[in-house]
Amino acid sequence: MKILTRYTLKEFFPPFLLALICFTSILLLDEIFRLTKLFVSKGVSPTYLVKLLIYVLPATLVVTIPMATLVGILLSLGRFSTDNEITAMKAHGIGFHQILLPLLSISSLLTVFDFIFMDYALPRGNIAYVSLKHDISRRHSSFVLEEGVVMKELEREGKLWLYESTDPDTERLQEVKVWDSIWPGQPRFVNAKEATVGFEDGQAWLTLYDGVTYEPVSDSDDGFRITAFAEDRIALDFTETLERTEFESKSSRNMSLVKLRDHITELEDRLTRNETKPHLDRLRYARVEYYKKFSIPFACFVFGLIGVPLGLVVKRSGKMVGFGIGLGLVLVYYLLLQVGQDTGRSGVLPPGFAIWLPNLVIGVLGLGCALRVILEGKLETQQSRDQKPPPSFQNTENQEVEESD
């Protein structure tokens, strides 16, 4: 390996790793705050919080690796420009390609790594994340409960219920209200001071304590029968919540490349037999996720292509300027990616073109910047040659030197 190649890669990796840690931490902050608030309010063990953050990490890294690649290149080459090393390289005849090739090579390796990571680690991390939430919901029913929100687990059976708060000492639900038989038109209302939710043999039970039942009298239009009780039990059904998490685990985003390709083929066969809008929407969504497995990792190479020429033209204060340029390009890229996802899923644009649009835009800009740097280098070389004194003038200077001797 050449000295210049080793030196360039040595300067690239520290800012790359620093940017990777910073971007990953920033993107995880929102998830950390949300989960911490949820776990603290629900009293669930923080061990589950750590596991959920580990499982969500692959989905964050596949996005931050391309971002860190661009910023790492810009900061390393910005340091070269700040210390006038780019000028020294040009003075010694070092060509643009001698800096471009090693950085493009490492960008290509990061592209391959990000692709493998996205196809292998991302689906498994997402499935493990959903499965753990599923288990937490079964073991800790409070995880799916919300204070002051009407619970609709029993809506199919004509029941609605809510609770106002949770006692911090006993962890019992306070001021519980249950509306029963809401569809027949003769509702039965239950008001209990406290309640607990627990699981027995896979069945969730709402146990009410110290409550009163109000139900209409059948032979009276405005009469109610009031019944007090010390304890009562109602079977709860969290099937809808658990089915939702089970559906999320089978989403196209959580499939490997091979399974996703088979899933797309299956949806295409269904669509040919029975063309319905839900099947078409699912097919578009699956195709978008399929092309994302290639497009997002390829962003490492695209960012490398545009990062090298931009890093070479950064002058003084190169680090700050390079960091600002990197953030701007990252923002543009992922904004275009979000637009591509929306237009691809809605059918406004073909999914493949919509998802590859950010790479096409940034890639064309990168090629343009690279060609400009190459042409400027040739122009500077030609100008330096044109500025050399003619041979006759050089001979005259040599003769004057000899006569003076």
Q: What is the pLDDT of residues 382-400, one digit of tens each?
A: 444 455 555 544 454 444 4
DSSP 124-151: HHHHHHHHHHHHHHHH-GGGG--TT--B
Collect all residues with Cβ–Cβ distance below 8 Å to 91 and sequence separation of at least 6.
none
Are both 122 and 263 inside the same structural domain? yes
Residue 243, in any domain of the structure: no
Backbone angles phi, psi at 114, to 5 degrees: -65, -35
pLDDT for the residue 375:
74
Are both 13 and 50 inside the same structural domain? yes
Are both 130 and 85 inside the same structural domain? yes
Are both 291 and 175 inside the same structural domain? no
Residue 402, in any domain of the structure: no
Give the chain's radius of gyration (CA, Å): 33
Are both 105 and 166 inside the same structural domain? no
Token pair belonging to 386: 């044109």
Are both 374 and 336 inside the same structural domain? yes
Are both 123 and 262 inside the same structural domain? yes
Q: Which of 27, 109, 12 is nearest to 330 (CA)?
A: 27
pLDDT for the residue 196:
81
Q: Please tell me what DSSP assigns to residue 190.
A: E
| Domains: count for the chain | 2
Burial tier of 141 (Cβ tally within 10 Å: 0-12, 13-18, 19+): buried
Q: How many CB atoms lie within 10 A of CB 135?
A: 13
Are both 262 and 340 inside the same structural domain? yes
Token pair belonging to 340: 């591509």
Residue 76, in any domain of the structure: yes
Q: How far apart are alpha carbons 327 and 405 in whole angstroms?
A: 62
Note down the domain range covering 211. 154-237
Are both 160 and 265 inside the same structural domain? no
Residue 87, in any domain of the structure: yes
- Could you tell me the pTM of the whole model? 0.70
Q: How far apart are alpha carbons 124 and 56 in whole angstroms?
A: 10
Are both 168 and 280 inside the same structural domain? no
Side-chain half-sphere CA neighbours of 366 within 13 A: 22
**pLDDT per residue over 64-78, tens digit each?**
999 999 988 888 887
Q: How many CB atoms lie within 10 A of CB 242?
A: 15
- Give the chain's residues under pLDDT 70: 1, 38, 41-44, 81-87, 90-93, 95-97, 134, 137-159, 181-186, 199-204, 218-223, 236-250, 275-276, 313-322, 376-405
Residue found by looking up tokens 């990061």 in the block = 110
Residue 348, in any domain of the structure: yes
Q: Which of 211, 292, 226, 297 is nearest to 255 (CA)?
A: 292
Are both 134 and 158 inside the same structural domain? no
Residue 391, in any domain of the structure: no
Counting other chains too, the contacts that 9-14 makes at CB distance below 8 Å and 24 or more residues apart are 9/102, 9/103, 9/106, 11/76, 11/79, 11/80, 12/72, 12/73, 12/76, 12/103, 12/106, 13/72
- Choose the final residue of a domain: 175, 208, 237: 237
**pLDDT per residue over 10-45, tens digit each?**
889 999 999 999 999 999 988 888 778 767 766 667
Is-contact 337 302, C-beta < 8 A? no
